[in-house]
Amino acid sequence: MKKIFINNSLLLLLACGTLLTSCYKSFDPKSYQPPFTINGYTSVAEIGQGSLVGYWAFDGSYIDSVSNTSATGVATSFAPGFKGQAFQGANNGYVISALPNAIKNLKSFTIDYWINSPQNTNGIVAPVVISRDDQFWGSLDMFFENGSTATSANLKIHFNGQSEVWFTNGILTNPWNSWQNIALTYNATNSTFTLYQGGTAIASQTATGLGNLVFPSTATKIIFGTEQFQCSPSIGTAGGSQGWASYLTGQMDEVRIYSKALSATELQALIVLQGKGK
């Protein structure tokens, strides 16, 4: 009887030990860790909450996931991106979409994107353009100017709505052949454009009295990868492609447009959280 009791006790202890070991193995210490936070944010979705009006992830699709507006890739494809996939540019290649109403009605804005481009040696290259059918230039143009070097580039900004503004002192450092985060903000309260590289403001310009943006009725398209007049058919009054203009032959990813001017703190958090997949 004593042997039976001892044997049963050993079996019970063994069973309890197995149960405890099983429970220990399922314990995940990460579940007890506080969420990763930077500048008060734990996810990209928290930044500029309620003001995201356009988002192109380029994960195997050209669609704007905010407005569900479809875009067309012309001679482009997809490649590994900063996060997931990116659109892969090419000579004579670009992405073009009807301009969502929420973007056309912007008063202030932030345009933020990742780009990995070789040096532009064959002409200006425009990552983002909002077209203007009745003008040579678009309503909003961002383009790498000719005359770049292996270690620098001038990213020029042009706005043409209720008045015309040229912002031409955006000098980027070591912008080629690696993923770069570029952001342009416009704050209607003080009529100021600010250009950021990697979350750091590198240039700003105040267009005194500009106030709330007014995009013309002829602003109908948003284009990624080239200027409006390089499209086929050519948009605007240029009459055709220009010999001094070219196309993005690298990659572009994670394009976000907000209806407010994000702060440097918000942009820095956006960069880090994107990098962590948050």
Same domain, 26 and 116: no
Is the C-alpha dihedral spanning 100, 235, 167, 149 positive or negative?
A: positive
Same domain, 232 and 145: yes
Same domain, 69 and 201: yes
The parent domain of residue 7 ranges over: 2-32
In a domain, 172, yes or no: yes
Query: Is the Cβ–Cβ distance between 64 and 254 less than 8 Å?
Result: no
Number of H helices, E strands in the chain: 3, 16
Same domain, 48 and 168: yes
Same domain, 20 and 108: no
The SS3 call for residue 31 is helix
**For residue 127, cis peptide bond before it (omega within 30 degrees of 0):** no
The SS3 call for residue 2 is helix
Same domain, 69 and 178: yes
Same domain, 56 and 17: no
Within 10 Å of residue 231's Cβ, how many Cβ atoms? 20
Average pLDDT score over the chain: 90
In a domain, 67, yes or no: yes
Q: 147: alpha, beta or left, given left = phi > 0 and alpha = psi -120 to 50?
A: left
| pTM value surpassing 0.75 | yes
Average pLDDT over residues 169-175: 96
Q: Alpha-carbon Rg of the chain, whole angstroms?
A: 25
Same domain, 18 and 105: no
Both tokens of residue 157? 């900004």
Characterize the bridge pairing of strands 251-258 and 52-56: antiparallel
Query: Is the Cβ–Cβ distance between 104 and 98 less than 8 Å?
Result: no
Is the C-alpha dihedral spanning 129, 130, 131, 132 positive or negative?
A: negative
In a domain, 38, yes or no: no
Residue 110 has pLDDT above 80, yes or no: yes
The SS3 call for residue 160 is strand
In a domain, 238, yes or no: yes
Specify the pLDDT at position 19.
Answer: 41
48 φ/ψ angles, rounded to the nearest 5 degrees:
60, 35
Same domain, 63 and 197: yes
Domain count, the chain: 2
Same domain, 201 and 83: yes
Residue 35 has pLDDT above 90, yes or no: no
Residue 6 has pLDDT above 60, yes or no: no
Same domain, 112 and 18: no
Average pLDDT over residues 46-52: 93
The SS3 call for residue 33 is coil
Q: Which helix (H) or strand (E) holds 176?
A: none
In a domain, 39, yes or no: no
Same domain, 15 and 93: no
Average pLDDT over residues 12-36: 54
Specify the pLDDT at position 222.
Answer: 98
Average pLDDT over residues 143-151: 96
Output the domain CATH number for residue 89: 2.60.120.200
